[in-house]
Amino acid sequence: KTLLGTKSLRWSEINRVSGRGYAIKLHNFDGDVTVAPATQLPGYDEVVNWIGMKRPDLFSPLEYAEMKKGWAGTIIFSLAGLLLLAGLVLFVLTQAGDVLIPLLVFVVFGLIAVVSVFTTPQSVTIQGDTIVIDYLFNQKTFSAKEISSIDLRYTQTRNGRNYFVAVTLLNRKAIHLSGFTLSLPVICLVLRNWHKKSTSVSQAFQRN
């Protein structure tokens, strides 16, 4: 429901999903009706969970075997960090003491931006019962049995909610996925499907 009216789709009428950022959009078979829950809606993460439970077939690990982060954000953050570091060098060379504090503030933010680029996942690839998480200069591989849960979570800020996908390991360490070109709700539901199927196969194999 919106101020302009109401849209509805039966679960059986949904043919595909799309979306970018935090959003998820449901499309019917003819493509003339779409439903997109508002990302700031209270309980939005629960709505995403319901979509995944009602129509898990829309989130096939085979269809979304590789999920990448957009390079635009990485390039912007890297350039910002390099420019701010260059500003620090200029300060040292000019020894302009009256601009020390404001310049250092910008440099700190630049360093944080650069560090975040190097320490956040850039892509996730599903390979059988394992996922490969690529960083700029590093790569980590986790099997489904090393993961305890996969959830869509958020942090609350003055500007609203910032969503991310939390891949929580058995040791309780969580890997945060954000900034991908594919919708975060779709990533969450695809990885959750993969985890459920992979752990079910593993448990069945062990019983046999």
Predicted confidence pLDDT, tens digits, the chain (208 residues)? 878 888 889 999 999 999 999 999 999 999 888 999 999 888 999 999 999 999 999 999 999 999 998 765 566 666 666 666 666 666 666 655 555 566 666 666 666 666 777 778 999 999 999 999 999 889 999 999 999 999 999 998 888 899 999 999 999 999 999 989 999 999 999 999 999 999 986 555 555 5
Q: Which H or E element spans position 28?
A: strand 25-28
For tokens 């829950």, the residue is 37
Distance (Å, rounded) from C-alpha 7 to C-alpha 115?
Answer: 43
DSSP classification of residue 137: S
**CB within 8 Å of 57: residues ≥ 6 apart:** none
For tokens 């996922």, the residue is 131
Q: At what angle do helices 44-54 and 184-207 cross, to 10 degrees?
A: 50
Distance (Å, rounded) from C-alpha 195 to C-alpha 25?
Answer: 23
Helices (H), 95-168: 100-119
Distance (Å, rounded) from C-alpha 37 to C-alpha 39?
Answer: 6
What pTM does this model have?
A: 0.81
Question: Amino acid letter at 11?
Answer: W
